[in-house]
Amino acid sequence: MAGGLFGTDGVRGRANGPNMTAEAALRLGMAAGRHFRTGSHVHRVVIGKDTRRSGYMLEYALTSGFAAVGVDVFLLGPVPTPAVGMLTRSMRADLGVMISASHNPHEDNGIKFFGPDGFKLSDADEAAIEALYHAAPALAEPAAIGRATRIDDGRGRYMEFAKTTFPRGLRLDGLKVVVDCANGAAWRTAPEVLWELGAEVIPIGTRPDGFNINAGCGSTHPQAAAAEVRARGADLGIALDGDADRVILIDETGAVIDGDQIMALIATRWAAAGRLAGGALVATVMSNLGLERHLAGQGIGLVRTRVGDRHVVEAMRAGGFNLGGEQSGHIVMTDYTTTGDGLIAALQVLAAMAETGRPLSALARVFAPVPQILRNVRLDPGARPLESPAVRRMIAAAEARMGAAGRLVIRPSGTEPVIRVMGECEDEALLAELVEGICAEIRQTMPA
């Protein structure tokens, strides 16, 4: 998390490591509660979590922090991240918190904040909370200390909302669906919604034990769902991540469909129906050049942002767009949600299948992707390889060799201690040579 307490998606780190201890969560709860404690009304926060063991520790510490500064706490238990955004708004809370490290392994955890409008916080709000985090706490008087209440039907409220996004009059009868819940927050939600809409559901990744979240399953390991689709003769597979804010799909042949293809399908359908606000899709610099070319051919614009669904949403709100997302599977549809929602995105694709009667392999091969390679180079503590003159020269030389036929995106991750090296080029051999050369040069900068 270079540059401060907050990264690209809240505060994240190794459980019981820097910024992710019970003490840190306590202070973060006090700081966030103090920042949002304005006005004379009774202040409240809703807190959800995924299935990591460390979620218990952080949930109780955050609760203590909020209560200490006079904020009432409503505990949702394990729910998808988009449910927190939805319930923050519907319960008229001052803020929402999701305890999750998304697609990361169980050793990591994170704390994401939502404002009263259900959207993730702005940079200004995060900076204000960080300043209060480092300041002396302003504790409430004894009579004003907050209280905590468990909300038992939060999951059910979200499920009912998710079903309202599926076209009225359509059903999923006759469709066999594999859903991989990554042993995470949607382990009950997603299978039940799909079953209630009429699908034959084959659930996997639905036995969380606190340690197996994202382990060999979910959107970062779609091979598990793909194997099940092939073995069971399913019509499609849905692979969610640990907090269910992203989705990867698998067609009936077992082929993986990434977020770019999902966005292309939805954008094309919405544009044809006259419901694509602003006539454009918002995506990040990581989305494939083939997506950009396809949209241009359809008369649809593409607005690119920095990596992170928060930046996508900010651009959507600023420009009046209603569809955006990331290649990794964050799909944001502000007609329905305030953040990425894997289940609701999958329901849009299922609606297309139900309406057209066409298989996913025919619907979701929307464009031919330009060859792309993404490599992650793990960083040693304190390493700053992108400041190295040798690395900069290597990158400049690679860009010159690619010319107009390709592009490079090289950046530090905001959620993991890695440098992400992404390249696209029509010449696959050249692409592989250049990306591997840059990765090797980055590794050379690490301390011996």
Tokens of 176: 């066999």
For 60, the 3-state DSSP assignment is helix
CA distance 214 to 206: 11
Residues taking part in catalysis:
102
Query: What is the DSSP secondary structure assignment for residue 7, as one 8-state letter?
Result: B
The number of angstroms, rounded, from the C-alpha of 362 to the middle of its chain's C-alpha atoms is 26
Question: What does the pLDDT profile of the chain (448 residues) look like in tens digits?
Answer: 334 899 878 999 999 998 999 999 999 999 999 999 998 899 999 999 999 999 999 999 999 999 999 999 999 999 999 999 999 999 999 999 999 999 999 999 999 999 999 999 999 999 999 999 999 999 999 999 999 999 999 999 999 999 999 999 999 999 999 999 999 999 999 999 999 999 999 999 999 999 999 999 999 999 999 999 999 999 999 999 999 999 999 999 999 999 999 999 999 999 999 999 999 999 999 999 999 999 999 999 999 999 888 899 999 999 999 999 999 999 999 999 999 999 999 999 999 999 999 999 999 999 999 999 999 999 988 888 999 999 999 999 999 999 888 899 999 887 778 999 999 999 999 999 999 999 999 998 887 5
Task: Look at residue 323 in the predicted model and tell me its pLDDT.
Answer: 98
Q: What is d(CA 16, CA 215) in angstroms, rounded to the nearest whole number?
A: 20
All residues at 6 or more sequence positions from 308 whose CB lies less than 8 Å from its CB, including other chains: 8, 9, 284, 414
Instruction: Please measure the distance between the N-terminal and C-terminal CA atoms of the chain and give it in whole angstroms.
Output: 23
What 3-state DSSP class applies to 374?
strand
pLDDT, tens digit, 9 for 90 and up, residues 205-238 = 999 999 999 999 999 999 999 999 999 999 999 9
Domain spanning 173-254 has what CATH number? 3.40.120.10
Nearest partner of 384 among 446, 306, 440, judged by Cα: 446
How far is the C-alpha of 423 from the C-alpha of 442, rounded, in Å? 15
One-character DSSP codes across 352-382: HHHHH---HHHHS--S-PPPEEEEEEEPPTT
Residue 243 near residue 230 (C-beta atoms within 8 A): no
Residue 312: C-alpha distances to residues 246, 280, 284, 346 (Å): 14, 12, 7, 19
Could you tell me where in the chain the CATH 3.30.310.50 domains are found?
372-444
pLDDT at 40: 87
Bridge-based pairing of strands 95-99 and 44-49 is parallel
- Angstrom distance (rounded) from CA 344 to CA 424: 30
pLDDT value, residue 2: 38
Query: Among 112, 2, 4, 5, which residue's Cα sits nearest to residue 50?
Result: 112
- Provide CATH 3.40.120.10 ranges for the chain: 11-154, 173-254, 259-363
Output the pLDDT for position 446: 83
Fold of 259-363: Alpha-D-Glucose-1,6-Bisphosphate; Chain A, domain 3 (3.40.120)
CATH number of 11-154: 3.40.120.10
**CB atoms closer than 10 angstroms to residue 356:** 11
The architecture CATH gives domain 372-444: 2-Layer Sandwich (3.30)
Q: What is the pLDDT of residues 176-189, one digit of tens each?
A: 999 999 999 999 99
Q: Which backbone phi and psi does 350 adopt, to 5 degrees?
A: -60, -35
